[in-house]
A = this chain, B = another copy of it.
């Protein structure tokens, strides 16, 4: 019995390890196009600044480590074709330049997503980079060592762009950020975007919002970025405008692609092809609040999906499930933590919910305890049932508040639960009542007023 996994990193290597743990006999091979099978992609921005000192720290496991588990990992190998009926693969050894055929009994597709480079003139200039894999950060490092850039432009105000901006600042660069939308951190509400923009300004990152890059200017090497009638001089550009799922291999083999553009899988991570599972950044899943399909490419989710795909692929039956996601995420920009879970107010309205929301800004611990910092929290609730639909937080301890709210949404809690919920209090760790409890109490007032409004108008 032979299990083949296409793609490593989080989902693929997790599927492989899980399969090996459950079945010591099965042949397991992982094909990976990049030179490292298992890395922390989320750590890449921190490698730019030296917050993470060496690239080796981001390599979770080497092929040799996998070999000890009796998992064959072939890096620099691209799977070019999948014949699902014949259970065969066409593989190219990129180092040797040779192609060969392989076969499988069961297959897990975990080929991830790739960075989008928009069709901007000059995107191929030296000094214009994306940041998706270790090889990209190697290239940036080589370039910075050779040219010692003083000014940098980051294109894209999502979390990758913001993390990159922070880390380029840390090594003394003068950083500008260009975002096409009218604000950064567009996945969040306006209140959060304003806080992120203030944090950028505080650290002298100039943010240009509502601006589309028209051209990267330079001869051979980048010299400037042209947008909105001006040209901004720069020595380095990093583009972080998004990623898209790698679906070609599966789609050409006949696998169903979902409405988000990623591979469709059921809750057992099965694709529409027989004996083919998929996991990670290349698949879509269910948003547990909206109920609709969603594509949320994140390392932790990929890891969890990989576990389910590996378990079911090795046993061949639908033993475990991956129910879906809440769209939970967090990032740090300078001293500001920014997290969200569930639906934003606009997403909730778009999904057809009647929405009631409440927001607060309070200290993250007892105000008299050293280190106390402000944190913003917004709760979004279903106006008919009171159920929590989403939360956004920005500030000190935003990670904790986001995780409490994510768990609350997972547990289908409503605002009366959150008023009385028994969270841990001690002055070094929180205010007497958690910001979650305080915000839920305000939410309760909004519900009372809404009820009174209904009564008054009846």
Interface residues of A (CB under 8 A from B): 10, 40, 42-43, 46, 51-52, 57-58, 159, 288, 298-301, 303-304, 307-308, 320-323, 325-332, 337, 339, 341, 366-370, 399-400, 402-404, 406-408, 410-413, 416-417, 419-430, 432-434, 437, 441
Asked if B303 and A432 make an inter-chain contact with CB atoms under 8 angstroms apart, the answer reads yes
**What are 21 inter-chain pairs, A to B, with CB distance below 8 A?**
A40-B432, A42-B426, A43-B369, A46-B368, A46-B369, A52-B368, A288-B422, A298-B425, A320-B416, A321-B416, A327-B422, A330-B425, A330-B429, A332-B428, A337-B428, A341-B422, A399-B429, A402-B424, A406-B422, A406-B423, A410-B413
Q: Is B425 within 8 A of A40, CB to CB? A: no
B-chain residues with CB within 8 Å of residue A427 when the two chains form the complex: 40, 42-43, 46
B43 A366 Cβ-Cβ under 8 A: yes
Cross-chain contact A300 with B425 (CB below 8 angstroms): yes
CB distance from A414 to the nearest CB of B (A): 11
Chain B positions within 8 Å of A421 at CB level: 406-407, 410
Residues of B within 8 A of A410 (CB): 408, 411, 413, 417, 421-422
Contact B331 A426 (CB under 8 A): yes
Report the bound CA distance from A185 to B370 in whole Å.
25
Inter-chain CA distance A411–B308, complex, in Å, is: 23
| A329 and B411 in contact, given A366-B40, A369-B46, A432-B40 (Cβ under 8 angstroms) | no
A288 neighbours in B (Cβ, 8 Å): 422
Q: From A42, which residue of chain B is reached at the shortest CB distance?
A: B427
Chain B residues closer than 8 Å to A400, beta-carbon distance? 399-400, 403
Q: Which residues of B contact A328 (CB under 8 A)?
A: 422-424
Report the bound CA distance from A333 to B209 in whole Å: 46
> Measured between alpha carbons, how far is A403 from B320 in the docked complex, in Å?
27
Interface centre among A46, A412, A421 (most CB of B within 10 A): A421
A52 to B369, CA, bound (A): 6
What's the nearest-Cβ distance from chain B to residue A123, in Å?
28
Chain copies in complex: 2
Task: Evaluate contact between B339 and A420: CB separation under 8 angstroms.
Answer: no
Tell whether, in the assembled complex, residue B404 and residue A300 are in contact, meaning their CB atoms are under 8 Å apart: no
Cα of A369 to Cα of B304 in the assembled complex, Å: 22
The listed residue with most B CB atoms (<10 A of its CB), out of A400, A416, A430, is A400
Closest approach, in angstroms, between the C-beta of A421 and any C-beta of chain B?
5
Question: Nearest chain-B residue to A405 (Cβ)?
Answer: B407
The 10 A-B pairs with the shortest beta carbon distances in the complex, nearest first, are A411-B411, A330-B424, A300-B425, A407-B407, A57-B368, A399-B429, A326-B422, A400-B400, A328-B422, A402-B424
Residues of B within 8 A of A329 (CB): 424-426
Query: Are A433 and B42 within 8 A (Cβ)?
Result: no
- The minimal Cβ–Cβ distance linking A361 to chain B, given in whole angstroms, is 19
Instruction: Give the docked Cα–Cα distance between A30 and B406 (Å).
Output: 39
Known: A323-B420, A420-B323. A368 touches B40 (CB 8 A): yes
Residues of B within 8 A of A430 (CB): 399
- A290 to B396 CA separation, bound complex (whole angstroms): 34
Residue of B nearest to A368 (CB): B57
Q: Which residue of B lies closest to A431 (CB)?
A: B300
Q: How far is the CA of A48 from the CA of B330 in the complex (A)?
A: 37
Q: How far is the CA of A422 from the CA of B343 in the complex (A)?
A: 13
Chain B residues with CB below 8 A from A370, complex form: 51
Interchain CA distance A414-B410 in the complex, whole Å: 11
Q: How far is the CA of A370 from the CA of B170 in the complex (A)?
A: 14
Q: Which residues of B contact A339 (CB under 8 A)?
A: 424
* Contact in complex: B366, A433 (CB < 8 Å): no
- Which of B407, B422, B433 interacts with A413 by CB under 8 Å? B407
CB of A320, distance to nearest CB on chain B (Å): 8
Known pairs A321-B416, A331-B426 / 18 extra A-B pairs, C-beta < 8 Å: A40-B368, A43-B368, A46-B427, A58-B368, A159-B426, A288-B422, A303-B433, A323-B420, A326-B422, A332-B429, A341-B422, A404-B404, A404-B407, A406-B421, A406-B424, A407-B411, A407-B413, A407-B423
